[in-house]
């Protein structure tokens, strides 16, 4: 990992309009789901940056914005200095060769009507690379790289003939086949058996070293994030509330929400730290965002100052948290 930036996200915002009745629209009443709200973060070359948080916090929306699968409401995303939202169709097609995705559900992300050979070769076909590379050889190399060897055993099979772990390996091979620089992995192990998860995570780390990949890894599981990540960004209601080195955040969390997520992890030690951190209630509606700190309604440490939204403050080396009590939390 280097300190060079591959992707730079600047004040990105994504609002989804809520459908209203005819009379509400005629009165000019508009409401929005605040999926991603003014996020700035960088993804460094060769690192694994994990986005962590509860379902609905905006992790996948941010990832889709980085892949430009969604249009922004505001803000900028730069890929090696090039503005993704200002890129033309031709420029974007070239940029897409450098970024690929691995989705959560290995049962839904592979076309059941296509053979494994067709599935893995599809990025080469769609991007018109058939004339510049040996497609058959590239597919065989990708399948071998993800542990499906010998590849001849899998090329003519269909996805339904494979297990969930094998399907996810195929999905990784498909992402790998065009030699991307960035892979966005959206909960890639959450639907797999626990015994298979470790194999897939280890595989992804091996591929990162072998092909000099950069990962944006999305997960709700801090144990998984700690295992695979160089840095970790904790999200809550569309905002990053803490970001820093994964080991530092897990050892010395500086935000109450991070402490609460860590307290939910099982531990063999009944006296393990963070176990006493409990949050109350449910995640607020993303349409009616709480004023001030978004975590305030559920935070056991909230006080008067929290009615003003805190900025991300540095609490350690490359470690930032959006909490007025960040130093005390650590």
* pLDDT-derived band at 317, boundaries 50, 70, 90: very high
pLDDT in tens, 117-154: 999 999 999 988 888 889 999 999 999 999 999 999 99
Least confident of 141-150, 174-183, 201-210, 287-296: 287-296
* pLDDT-derived band at 242, boundaries 50, 70, 90: very high
pLDDT value for 22: 58
Residues 117-133 as b/e (b if ≥16 CB within 10 A, e otherwise) read: bebbbbbbeeeebeeee
Q: How many residues in total does the chain contain?
A: 330
pLDDT value for 138: 95
pLDDT average, residue stretch 43-48:
96
Q: Minimal CA–CA distance to 171: which of 103, 232, 219?
A: 103
Burial class (CB in 10 A: 0-12, 13-18, 19+), 22: exposed
CA–CA separation, 31 vs 327, rounded Å? 36
pLDDT in tens, 192-235: 888 899 999 999 999 999 999 999 999 998 989 999 999 999 99
Least confident of 10-24, 37-51, 182-196, 292-306: 10-24
Q: What CA–CA distances, in Å, run from 212 to 174, 182, 207, 209?
A: 17, 9, 8, 5
CA–CA separation, 248 vs 245, rounded Å? 5
* pLDDT-derived band at 273, boundaries 50, 70, 90: low
CATH number of 5-98+180-329: 3.40.50.300
Contact 116, 155 (CB under 8 A): yes
Give the start-to-end residue ranges of the domains of the chain.
Answer: 5-98+180-329
pLDDT beyond 80 at 2: no
pLDDT average, residue stretch 63-67:
95
Which is higher by pLDDT, 28 or 66? Answer: 66
Q: Enter the tokens of residue 314.
A: 């540095």
pLDDT value for 265: 78
Beta strands across the sheet bearing 48-52? 99-102, 182-186, 214-219, 48-52, 231-236, 239-245, 319-321, 313-316
Q: Is 64 helix (H, G, I), strand (E, B) or coil?
A: helix
């Amino acid at each position: 990992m280097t300190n060079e930036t591959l992707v730079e996200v600047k004040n990105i915002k994504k609002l989804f309009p809520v459908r209203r009745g005819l009379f509400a629209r005629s009165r000019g009443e508009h409401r929005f789901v605040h999926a991603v709200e003014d996020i700035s973060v960088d993804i460094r070359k060769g690192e694994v940056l994990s986005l962590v948080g509860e379902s609905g916090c905006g992790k996948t929306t941010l990832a889709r914005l980085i892949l430009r699968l969604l249009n922004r409401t505001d803000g900028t995303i730069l890929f090696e200095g090039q503005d993704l939202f200002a890129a033309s169709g031709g420029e974007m097609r070239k940029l897409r060769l450098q970024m690929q995705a691995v989705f959560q559900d290995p049962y839904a992300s592979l076309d059941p009507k296509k053979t494994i050979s067709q599935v893995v070769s599809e990025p080469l076909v769609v991007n018109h690379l058939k004339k510049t590379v040996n497609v058959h050889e590239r597919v065989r190399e990708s399948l071998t790289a993800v542990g499906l060897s010998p590849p001849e055993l899998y090329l003519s099979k269909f996805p339904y003939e494979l297990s969930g772990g094998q399907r996810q390996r195929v999905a990784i091979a498909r992402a790998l086949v065009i030699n991307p620089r960035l892979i966005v992995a959206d909960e890639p192990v959450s639907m797999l058996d626990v015994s298979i998860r470790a194999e897939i995570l280890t595989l992804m780390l091996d591929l990162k070293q072998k092909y000099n990949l950069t990962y944006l890894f999305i997960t709700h599981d801090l144990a998984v994030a700690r295992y695979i990540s160089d840095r970790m960004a904790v999200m809550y209601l569309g905002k990053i509330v803490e970001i820093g080195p994964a080991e530092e955040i897990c050892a010395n969390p500086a935000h109450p929400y991070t402490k609460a997520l860590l307290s939910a992890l099982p531990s063999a030690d009944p006296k393990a730290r963070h176990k006493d951190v409990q949050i109350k209630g449910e995640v607020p509606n993303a349409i009616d965002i709480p004023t001030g700190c978004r975590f305030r309604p559920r935070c056991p440490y909230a006080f008067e100052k929290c009615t003003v939204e805190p900025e991300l403050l540095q609490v350690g080396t490359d470690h930032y948290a959006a909490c007025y009590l960040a130093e005390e939390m650590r």
